[in-house]
Amino acid sequence: MRYEFLLESYESERVKVVSAWSMFRDEDLSFRPHPRDPRGRSLHEQMVHQCVSEDVWFRTMLGIDVGAPPLPEEETRLAFMRQYAEDSAKRLAALREKEEAWWEEEATFFDVQRSRAWVMTRRMTHTAHHRGQQLAMLRMLGREEYSNYGPSADTGGLMQSHAPTIYPYDSLEALLDGEAAGGKKVGLPGPGSQPVTERPGR
């Protein structure tokens, strides 16, 4: 199927969302980039936005309703991870049933018409945009940062330095079980001896 790459991308993106949330601690929920500036969402607000906005996009633009409230009853970090993992798995299953023609049909994207393939691409870039904000918040908090797309400063530095890609858990199931048990992430080697910049002389 021509749009299999979108299914593969969404499958990995949903794991990346939960993986990013697993790198925070429970006490980080109220943290925002600037403590006195409400324009920067707190971690809690970021999690709410991810769950609610994805639910709205899928229901109103793609016609996929998982039949569940987008937010967990108890808004804890673990509950958000479980809720999003469950709902996004249902969305992925629904997408897998769609024929190629469905992806090419137009849907209403706010006030314009776009193909469903285009809408899905924009949905994933929207998610990645907010996840990037959250990964920056991890650095503000001084937390370790595992791989999300590739090596990080905590997994050994730059790709050019042959740093490895290290995810906190081997699977989404292991992640949820590990975080429910208080956290069982794999160890990190740290940045290594090479500068984590492409221009170390400046």
Q: What is the CATH number of the domain that holds 115?
A: 1.20.120.450
Q: Do 180 and 135 fall into the same domain? A: no
139 and 194 fall within a common domain: no
Number of structural domains in the chain: 2
- Same domain membership, residue 22 and residue 8: yes
What value does the mean pLDDT take over residues 97-122? 97
Could you tell me if 108 and 119 lie in one domain?
Answer: yes
DSSP-based three-state secondary structure for 60: helix
What is the pLDDT, as a whole number, of residue 137? 97
Whether 48 and 124 share a structural domain: yes
Domain limits at 180? 144-202
Count other Cβ atoms within 10 Å, centred on residue 6.
Answer: 19
Is the pTM of the predicted complex or chain greater than 0.85?
Answer: yes
pLDDT at position 198: 87
Q: Which two tokens stand for residue 185?
A: 């992430």
Arithmetic mean of pLDDT, 50-61 = 98
**Together in a domain, 96 and 32:** yes
**Co-location of 56 and 81 in the same domain:** yes
Final residue before a domain boundary, out of 105, 122, 143? 143
| Pair 138, 69 in one domain | yes
Domain boundary, last residue among 109, 143, 177: 143
Percent of the chain whose pLDDT exceeds 90: 89
Q: Do residue 190 and residue 100 come from a single domain?
A: no
Choose the final residue of a domain: 101, 123, 143: 143
Q: Which amino acid makes up residue 160?
A: Q
Confidence class for position 1, pLDDT limits 50, 70, 90: confident
**What confidence score (pLDDT) does residue 202 get?**
64
Q: Are residues 131 and 201 in the same domain?
A: no
* Residues 46 and 129 both lie in one domain: yes
Domain shared by 50 and 127, yes or no = yes
Q: Is the pLDDT of residue 2 over 80?
A: yes
User: Which string of DSSP letters, residue by residue, matches 104-169?
Assistant: HSEEEETTEEEEHHHHHHHHHHHHHHHHHHHHHHHHHHT-----SSS--GGGTS-GGGTPPP--SS
Confidence tier at 186 by pLDDT (50, 70, 90): very high
Interatomic CA distance for residues 116 and 107, integer angstroms: 6
